[in-house]
Structure 1
Amino acid sequence: MFNFSACSLAAARAPQQTPQFFHDVFQDWLTSLQEFLQHDLPKLLSVLIFTWVLIWVVDFLTRRMVAIAESHPGRGIARASQIRTMASVLRATAIGIVGFLAALQILRDVFNFNLAPLLTSAGVAGVAIGLAAQTIVKDCLNGMLILLEDQYNVGDVVRLAGVSGTVESMSLRKTMVRDGDGTLYTIPNSQITNVANLTRDYSLPTINVAVDFSANPDEVMKVLRDAAMSVRNDPAYSDVYLADPSLLGIDSIKGSQVIYPVQFKTLANQQWAALRETERRIFIALHDHKILPGDPNRVFNGSAGSLTQTSKQLPEQPPNHPDATAAKPRETNPFTGETN
């Protein structure tokens, strides 16, 4: 049977218990706030201030790195852009690491969060991501080393991973090279193990001039030197030279062909126009002095003092004698008596 008297008594006491409940909640909240202000807030502020200082230091160092690179115009615009790329990557990576460590510190010291399960799951996830993306990580690490060591810049002529051409663009993950016929190659940085930079500091091109054996070497050397120095002293080409052309003498003799190498030292990747002009003037000088060009098929007859043009002869073949071991035995026809 329902007790109306008990219900009436509980209803009468409820208005008295409600203010006490809110009073207790308010007291607990004030106590927690006081403890937070006394103990947790200083920890939180110290972590945030220390994090801000570290981020400011990272930002200052990266901006200083870019400013130093841009203050040396001799290194080129491409190199400055590469340093800006590397600085931005370093800044983002450092800020991410500092922010992650600060968040862990706040969770542990301020909010008393147990980090063991979180770190365990993060470690397992990191291993899985690392195994799946290890090629990308290797590309980025190798790309950072290429930038730090200044192995090549945008605009350099290089040989990378069996491909030759001009570096058109590069990032931490890949390098794009365009060859002479316009083909664009994309090379992951992890595949770059050897770098041949053809435009670093200076170029040392060589012209190998083939002259006939009958020409006087001293006269040939004088003609070649005059032709090379005429280009060296030409105002249109003198700016690309770093030293006078050097004649190395006779390099090799191949039959009646004598090779005279002429070597140049020019600015990096600036030698092509000067080389073409030098070859043109050498051709004209040899023609004016009636010096024959080298020909491996020309034979010089020293005793007769004349030149004869011959073609390569095949060695004489020995006479064709029949093989006695391969001869058929003589046979006699039993019907006619004829012998074969």
Structure 2
Amino acid sequence: MTKDMAGLCQGDTVLCSTLVGMFDNAPWAPLVATFVTVILILVLAFVVRNIAHRLITRVINRAATGGSIASRFRKGAVTDGIDALLHERRKQRAETMGSVLKHVASIVILGTGVLTVLDRLAIPIAPLLTSVGILGVAIGFGAQELVKDFIAGMFMLLEDQYGVGDVIDVGGAIGTVEAVTLRVTRLRDADGRVWYVRNGTITRVGNESQGWSRAYMDVRVAYDADVMSVRVLLEHVAEEIWADAELRESKIVEEPQVFGVEQLSDSSLVFRISAKTLPAAQAEVSRELRLRVKTALDAAGIPMVAAA
């Protein structure tokens, strides 16, 4: 037994040999030295893990606070609203990635510490590593779709493709994002139906709520209508909307524009008026555009033509 205990320090570092020497090479000294070594390894593993978590937290906190986009638009409540939304999106994305990185760091560091302890205790780890490798390959083949979903979810979060509250089109479903995980995205469409879409199956994403949106209206008038009169009338409508304090401070980020004649046909002229809006506010602004344009055309005696 003494020989077996002495073998615990065979080929070990200076630490174990030094501890054995401190006990005057007593028969039980290698066992005590090994026990102390194991404790130090575990303590070191937890210290390194805590340091890694602190570094990850610091990086995540820095990533969650990005620059403002106020320079792109005018100063005001709308800019503050966009900045608040973007800050919240960055915060959610950073927290999710931070949680994943912390779990990965814990598994790697503590796993390495456990393997090192087993090696110090003279327990063969080669069969264990082989078994884990075979199990990993088997799980990899059996859970390819799951791995694909997780990888796609990680890249989706890193690239900030969409977040909770966004209105997106993922091909098979269109709706508002209610929840995002590394595996699935939950949507609710206009009919109230809930869709669960696996991240690995999403090949394209159309996001209607990122950064800013655009509301527009195509105005069809008779072919013989006076082009300049219609254009001036629409420009007045755009100025009225821009002068509306409620819309300007809460929904519209730039003055509406009139693009002139957008299309020509044998029966109508098509003018287009558009406005850059806060994310997801384009529907409400579009309704206001339609109301004001119709009212202005009726007052001027210019009839609208139905789409062919």
Displacement of 1:282 after TM fit?
Answer: 0.9
Q: Look up the equivalent residue of 2:96 and give its one-letter code.
A: T
TM-score normalized with structure 2 length: 0.80
Does the 8 Å CA contact 1:79/1:153 hold for their aligned counterparts?
A: no
Indicate the residue corresponding to 2:103 in structure 1: 92
Does the 8 Å CA contact 1:78/1:155 hold for their aligned counterparts?
A: no
Displacement of 1:112 after TM fit?
Answer: 1.4
Indicate the residue corresponding to 2:113 in structure 1: 102
CA distance in 2 between partners of 1:237 and 1:70 (Å): 30
Displacement of 1:228 after TM fit?
Answer: 2.0
Indicate the residue corresponding to 2:57 in structure 1: 63
CA distances 1:214-235 after superposition (whole Å, capped 9, x unpaired):
2110000001111122111111
Distance 1:277 1:225, change over 3 A: same
Distance 1:284 1:84, change over 3 A: same
Task: Kindly indicate whether residue 277 of structure 2 is the aligned counterpart of residue 290 of structure 1.
Answer: no
Displacement of 1:60 after TM fit?
Answer: 0.6
Displacement of 1:178 after TM fit?
Answer: 0.7
CA distances 1:293-322 after superposition (whole Å, capped 9, x unpaired):
12578xxxxxxxxxxxxxxxxxxxxxxxxx
Q: Which has the higher helix share?
A: 2
Q: Look up the equivalent residue of 1:283 and give its one-letter code.
A: K
CA distance in 2 between partners of 1:287 and 1:36 (Å): 97
Displacement of 1:53 after TM fit?
Answer: 2.6
Displacement of 1:243 after TM fit?
Answer: 1.5
Task: Kindly indicate whether residue 272 of structure 2 is the aligned counterpart of residue 252 of structure 1.
Answer: no
Q: Look up the equivalent residue of 1:264 and give its one-letter code.
A: A
Compare relative contact order (CA 8 Å, sep 6+) and give the higher one, 1 or 2.
2
Q: Look up the equivalent residue of 2:289 and give its one-letter code.
A: T
Indicate the residue corresponding to 2:76 in structure 1: none
Distance 1:295 1:278, change over 3 A: closer
- Could you list the runs of 5+ residues in structure 2 that have no partner in the other structure? 7-24, 67-82
Distance 1:193 1:54, change over 3 A: farther
Task: Kindly indicate whether residue 29 of structure 2 is the aligned counterpart of residue 34 of structure 1.
Answer: yes
Displacement of 1:185 after TM fit?
Answer: 0.3
Does the 8 Å CA contact 1:168/1:177 hold for their aligned counterparts?
A: yes
Greater Rg, structure 1 or structure 2? 1
CA distances 1:252-298 after superposition (whole Å, capped 9, x unpaired):
1111210001121111112222221221111111111111212578x
Q: Look up the equivalent residue of 2:167 and give its one-letter code.
A: V
CA distance in 2 between partners of 1:287 and 1:166 (Å): 36
CA distances 1:5-41 after superposition (whole Å, capped 9, x unpaired):
xxxxxxxxxxxxxxxxxxx98xx89844212345x35
Indicate the residue corresponding to 2:18 in structure 1: none
Q: Which of 46, 50, 55 does residue 52 from structure 1 map onto? A: 46
Indicate the residue corresponding to 1:276 in structure 2: 287
CA distance in 2 between partners of 1:129 and 1:278 (Å): 56
CA RMSD of aligned residues (A): 2.4
CA distances 1:103-150 after superposition (whole Å, capped 9, x unpaired):
111111x11122222212221111112211121111111111111111
CA distance in 1 between partners of 2:230 and 2:240 (Å): 15
SS in 2 for 1:137: helix
Indicate the larger mover: 80-89 or 130-139.
80-89
Displacement of 1:82 after TM fit?
Answer: 3.9
CA distance in 2 between partners of 1:54 and 1:195 (Å): 39
Q: Which of 147, 151, 164 does residue 137 from structure 1 map onto? A: 147
Task: Kindly indicate whether residue 274 of structure 2 is the aligned counterpart of residue 241 of structure 1.
Answer: no
SS in 2 for 1:221: helix
TM-score normalized with structure 1 length: 0.73
Distance 1:135 1:47, change over 3 A: same
Indicate the larger mover: 170-179 or 77-86.
77-86
Distance 1:128 1:252, change over 3 A: same
Q: Which of 254, 258, 273 does residue 262 from structure 1 map onto? A: 273
Does the 8 Å CA contact 2:65/2:90 hold for their aligned counterparts?
A: no
SS in 2 for 1:211: strand
Give the alignment of 1:1-340 within 5 angstroms: 31-38=26-33, 40-41=34-35, 43-68=37-62, 74=84, 75-77=86-88, 79-108=90-119, 110-239=120-249, 240-295=251-306
Displacement of 1:93 after TM fit?
Answer: 2.1
Identity across aligned pairs (percent)? 30
- Could you list the runs of 5+ residues in structure 1 that have no partner in the other structure? 1-23, 298-340
Distance 1:208 1:194, change over 3 A: same
Indicate the larger mover: 175-184 or 66-75.
66-75
Does the 8 Å CA contact 1:254/1:296 hold for their aligned counterparts?
A: no
Q: Look up the equivalent residue of 1:62 and give its one-letter code.
A: I
